[in-house]
Amino acid sequence: MNDALLALLRGADTPTVCNAIEVAQGRRGFAAFTHGTPVCSAPGLAMVGYAVTARLSAQKPPTEDPATIRARRMAYYRAMWEAPKPAIAVIEDLDPTPVGAFWGEVNTTLHKALGIAGALTNGVLRDLGDLPDGFPVVAGSIGPSHGFVHIREIGTPVTVLGLTVAPGDLIHADRHGAVVIPPAVIPRLAESMAKLRASEQVILAPSRQGFETFEAFEAAWTAFEQARV
């Protein structure tokens, strides 16, 4: 991914990227996206980066000895530090109902300092109003407590909000959710986004001006159908 494409993706919302992937693939049916309604700490920001993955739990105290827990925690932060950038932390909360917030003022600030562009999780977010600027978190819920949060696994495939993510997957996420961008479409993604936006203007431009007759609308819609995937 070159700098021009990175800038383009950072300036796009996730629905546009999702649609552009279908344009690049030449068909509908792309399904590597999150399900449900996430919460987002920074609704106006999109994040783009390669996934650095981990799994955690917070519902019950860890059963391993403190030295093991600490060593894994430091290994986790090292993985974030050493990850190819741009990078996004993609963290699966293993609890049946996530109850403990890993993502609050401290961890968001730390991850930003480690060079991470943002976080995607099915887990809990807290400390709204105290999070650092420029570090969006897309999460499953909001809550007040950190519970017994502790890292369980590092660098394994994870499932977050219905989306399976492998380490190194290219992620685009914003307040709508997240997608995994298939490697095969990356060389055509900028062109596909331009084609998508042009096709949408076929119906958006006359709709914003208003239609004098239903036949005018029908003609514009027919042209739109012919232009889109």
Q: pLDDT tens digits, residue range 73-129?
A: 999 999 999 999 999 999 999 999 999 999 999 999 999 999 999 999 999 999 999
Looking at residue 159, its pLDDT comes to 98
What integer best gives the mean pLDDT of the chain? Answer: 96
Strand 150-154 to strand 158-160: parallel, antiparallel, or no bridges (unpaired)?
unpaired
Q: Which pLDDT band, with edges at 50, 70 and 90, does 227 fall under?
A: confident
Looking at residue 41, its pLDDT comes to 97
Task: Give pLDDT tens digits for 148-197.
Answer: 999 999 999 999 999 999 999 999 999 999 999 999 999 999 999 999 99
Give how far the C-alpha of residue 116 lies from the chain's centroid of Cα atoms, to the nearest Å: 13
Backbone angles phi and psi of 219, in degrees to 5:
-65, -40
State which H helix or E strand residue 106 sits in: helix 105-113
CATH 3.50.30.40 fits 31-181, yes or no: yes
Looking at residue 228, its pLDDT comes to 75
Strand 116-121 to strand 137-139: parallel, antiparallel, or no bridges (unpaired)?
parallel
Looking at residue 97, its pLDDT comes to 96
Looking at residue 229, its pLDDT comes to 63
C-beta neighbour count of 177 within 10 angstroms: 23
The residue written with tokens 């049946």 in the block is: 96
User: Which of these, 205, 208, 185, 223, lies nearest to 19 by C-alpha position?
Assistant: 185
Instruction: Say if residue 51's pLDDT is above 90.
Output: yes
Does 126 show up as a binding residue in the annotation?
Answer: yes
State which H helix or E strand residue 102 sits in: strand 101-103
The residues spanned by each domain of the chain are 31-181, 188-227
C-beta neighbour count of 156 within 10 angstroms: 12
Task: Enumerate residues 6+ apart whose C-beta is below 8 A from 149.
Answer: 56, 57, 58, 100, 101, 102
Grouping H, G, I as helix, E, B as strand and the rest as coil, residue 90 is: strand
Task: Enumerate residues 6+ apart whose C-beta is below 8 A from 153.
Answer: 54, 55
User: Which of these, 178, 167, 186, lies nearest to 50 by C-alpha position?
Assistant: 167
Looking at residue 33, its pLDDT comes to 98
